Amino acid sequence: MKIALMMENSQAAKNAVVLKELQGVADQQGHAVFNVGMSDEQDHHLTYIHLGIIASLLLNSKAVDFIVAGCGTGQGALMSLNIHPGVNCGYCIDPADAYLFAQINNGNALALPFAKGFGWGAELNLRFIFEKAFTGEKGQGYPPERKEPQVRNAGLLNQVKAAVIKDNYLDTLRAIDPELVKTAVSGQRFQQCFFEQCQDKNIEAFVREVLAA
> What is the per-residue burial (b if ≥16 Cβ within 10 Å, else e) of 160-198?
eeeeeeeeebeebbeebeeeebebbbebebbeebbeebb
Tens-digit pLDDT string for the chain (213 aa): 999 999 999 999 999 999 999 999 999 999 999 999 999 999 999 999 999 999 999 999 999 999 999 999 999 999 999 999 999 999 999 999 999 999 999 999 999 999 998 999 999 999 999 999 998 899 999 998 999 999 899 989 988 988 888 789 999 999 999 999 999 999 999 999 999 999 999 999 999 999 998
Point out which residues pair with 34 in neighbouring strands: 4
Point out which residues pair with 5 in neighbouring strands: 35, 68
The rounded distance, in Å, linking the Cα atoms of 11 and 22 is 16
| Domains of the chain: residue spans and CATH | 2-212 (3.40.1400.10)
Residues 3 and 34: beta-carbon distance below 8 Å: yes
The rounded distance, in Å, linking the Cα atoms of 158 and 63 is 20
pTM across the whole model: 0.95
